[in-house]
Amino acid sequence: MRTPLIAGNWKMFKTVQEAVVFTKELRNVVKDITDVEIVVAPPFTALHAVAEAARNSTIGVSSQDLYWERDGAFTGEISPGMVREAGAEFAIVGHSERRRLFGETDAIVSRKTQAAIAAALTPIVCIGETLEERDRGETPAVLDRQIKDGLGEISSEQLGEIVLAYEPVWAIGTGRTATAAQAGEAHAHIRKRLRQWFGADAADRSHIIYGGSVKPDNIRELIAEEDVDGALVGGASLDVRGFTEIIARSRQAAV
């Protein structure tokens, strides 16, 4: 059994002070939870402060992005080493907003994923189709392309250590959510391809989590699907009460 993983992506929300207050409150609430892996992804400005606030707790810390070079003339970018030094253990890669708003391609996702692994960071690699692609029946083909082109340079051993986040683009911040059956079908397809291309052991060890308007009232049904190993939570992760409710309900569903 894979331990459920619940990650909160705060996007461009929370000042350093707000992030620290949240983290301290969260660590008190979840201090006895050991059967769910909990991760928060603050903005870069709060990354170090949140990592310090979460030190020696059950909370992991992730960056929301990173660049693939170690250093250089890349104004505004943050290297994997900087992310690691700030205290992060994870790095979100290829979020749909990065792809849609900033033009990130599968080739860029591949480079960032490799760079994260090289820096001893666990990449949370996001994949998923647009509404137009789903309506045309292209979801499997889109997922296949994103897996092949985004993960094609990593080994089977490395795959077993990464997290894949299936996030249908049409469900990001829209209030729409894939049904449990839709999510389960997509996750089963992803797992099937991972087994085919990387081997059963790596595929079975790799977490595949769902992202897309996850809330307390839908997490239990989503995570009850066999191949759904947790969630990448957006807006609902900004409130301690709502986020801990998602964590609690994921525990119940996983039993």
Q: Torsion angle, CA of 132/138/142/145, rounded to 10 degrees?
A: -140
Q: Is 95 noted as a catalytic residue in this protein?
A: yes
The C-alpha atoms of residue 170 and residue 168 are separated, in whole angstroms, by 5
Our answer to whether residue 37 is catalytic in this structure is: no
Check: CB of residue 222 under 8 Å from CB of residue 210.
yes
CB 203 within 8 A of CB 245: no
Which residues have C-beta within 8 Å of that of residue 179, sequence separation ≥ 6?
none
Place of tokens 């250590």: 161
Q: Which one from 37, 104, 167, 225 is the annotated catalytic residue?
A: 167
Q: Rounded distance, CA 164 to CA 147, Å?
A: 9
Q: Single out the residue of 27, 93, 34 nearest to residue 65, CA to CA.
A: 93
Six token digits for residue 214: 């996850």
Report which residue type is found at 56: N
**Measured distance CA(166)–CA(168) in Å, rounded:** 6
Q: Which of 37, 95, 207, 225 is catalytic?
A: 95
How many CB atoms neighbour CB 168 within 10 A? 27
Q: Which residues contact 8 (CB under 8 A, 6 or more apart)?
A: 39, 40, 41, 233, 237, 238, 243
Active site residues: 95, 167
